[in-house]
A and B are shown apart, each in its own frame.
Chain A
Amino acid sequence: MKVIRQAVVVAAVTMALALPAVALAKAAQPPQQPPADFVPVDNAPPGEQIPAMPLLGAAYGFMWVGMLGYVFTLARRLQKVEAEITDLESRRK
């Protein structure tokens, strides 16, 4: 019983000392930076559009060519397999 009482007293004293220390440490920390959100503006900075344009064009160009190319090859593969099925089924009859 005595041991428990001593432990409670030690814990209470430790917390009493620790709480102001934590508060002080928090106050000493630099203020948090605001989150890096996207901020819209109406006009691009001067001279901005020319260097960015080739990168933008390359990105969209790559995606359009890639997408159309994939759709084309997929359609061709499907046509080939379906023609093979028609051929095999007509041979079975």
Chain B
Amino acid sequence: MLAIAAGLFAFAPFMIDAAPYEATMGLVYKIYFFHMPSAWMFMTAAITAGVASFRFLFLKRPRAEHWVTAAAELAVLFGAFTLVTGPLWARKAWGVWWVWDARLTSSLMVFMIFVAYTLLKKYGGPGSDKLGAGLALFGMANVPFIYVSVNYWRTFHPPTSVVPTLPVAMGIPLWYCVTAFTLLYIVLLRLRARLEHQRARVEALYLAEDEA
């Protein structure tokens, strides 16, 4: 799966290069082909972390906490991609790096929630896993708000209706990139969760050694 994702990413620049220019934004709109899929993966990671937190907190599944950690780290990674590429596009398309509208502000908030989660996990000590899972649930609760915000509040940001109405020449590279990002997300999530499983195993082995 990693090989397929790597192959798709290697070919992505050619697909994006072949896409036509946009009438008002010109060349810079091509940031969209990586910006939008990373925003989707950012929201997917937040939802994954929230669902795993629910399983950990309310269904008492200890291993679900490993998935929370994995998904939260990916939310930070894809959130950073979204929040860096967005302003680079906006600088040219809107004339400003940033506007404090509902979409951008709520995205920044969710990103900061998951940064807080990773810091809490690293430095929080005992009990931080439950507190962190609660935080991740709050992160997930914000995702629907991010998604619909462009349709309800006045903003420069393109509305959600842009994706289904995209012309075919622009739609093909976009869905190609969405596929590549989804595969990459699945691979990274599984690898990161595996790291947490192995860390738990190391801890158990040290405990067994101490008892022996």
Question: Interface on A for B, CB 8 Å cutoff?
Answer: 35-45, 48-49, 51-53, 55-56, 58-60, 62-63, 66-67, 70-71, 74, 77-78, 81-82, 84-85, 88-89, 91-92
Contact = CB atoms under 8 A, between A and B. Distances in A.
Contact of A66 (B26, B80, B208, B212): B80
A59 B88 CA distance: 7
Interface string B58-86: 00000000000000000001001100110
Contacts of B92: 51-52, 55
B23 A39 contact: yes
Given A41-B23, A55-B92, A85-B198, A74 B188 contact: yes
Interface string B147-186: 0000000000011011001110110000000000000100
Given A40-B23, A48-B27, A81-B195, 8 more contacts: A36-B159, A37-B166, A38-B158, A38-B167, A52-B26, A59-B34, A59-B84, A60-B31
B191 interface: yes
Interface residues of B, number: 49
- Helix, strand, loop or mixed for chain B's interface? helix
Contact of B38 (A42, A63, A81): A63
A49 B29 CA distance: 11
B209 A70 contact: no
